[in-house]
Amino acid sequence: DAGVIQSPRHEVTEMGQEVTLRCKPISGHDYLFWYRQTMMRGLELLIYFNNNVPIDDSGMPEDRFSAKMPNASFSTLKIQPSEPRDSAVYFCASSLAGDTGELFFGEGSRLTVL
């Protein structure tokens, strides 16, 4: 079974550039989450969707961050313009409502902003 698929796995960019991270959730899952992991702040929930609708984006750090889920099998997290402090590993996770509550994480996208 395919798990959560994220791309790119690694991204190095320069400050001011636009960054787009992509996620394909597990087929049939109706919740999708974007997390950010850093040494300083640990795992932070940025935003999550239910049935493609954003439910809670209170964790999105600022207007430079935006997330979309145009359909059940695809989501993007965009940072524009990027800054060095955005350097982190970004995880996408999916889950199935009414199940055990388990989150299934992708392998992450490591972003480095120079």
Partner 1 sequence: QQQVKQSPQSLIVQKGGISIINCAYENTAFDYFPWYQQFPGKGPALLIAIRPDVSEKKEGRFTISFNKSAKQFSLHIMDSQPGDSATYFCAASMSFNDYKLSFGAGTTVTVRA
**Residue numbers of the site for partner 1 (CB under 8 A)?**
4, 31, 33, 42-43, 45, 48, 56, 91, 93, 95, 97-98, 100-108
Work out how close the CB of 62 gets to partner 1 at its nearest, in angstroms, rounded to a whole number. 19
CA distance 51 to 56: 13
Choose between 6 and 82: whose C-beta lies nearer to partner 1. 6
Choose between 33 and 65: whose C-beta lies nearer to partner 1. 33
Residues 6+ apart with CB under 8 A from 91: 6, 33, 34, 35, 36, 37, 43, 105, 106, 108, 109
Work out how close the CB of 113 gets to partner 1 at its nearest, in angstroms, rounded to a whole number. 20
Work out how close the CB of 47 gets to partner 1 at its nearest, in angstroms, rounded to a whole number. 11
Choose between 74 and 104: whose C-beta lies nearer to partner 1. 104
Backbone φ, ψ for residue 28 (5° rounding):
95, -20
Choose between 8 and 16: whose C-beta lies nearer to partner 1. 8
16 torsion bin: left (phi>0), alpha (psi -120 to 50), beta (else): left
User: Which alpha helices (H) appear in 42-114, and where do they start and end?
Assistant: none
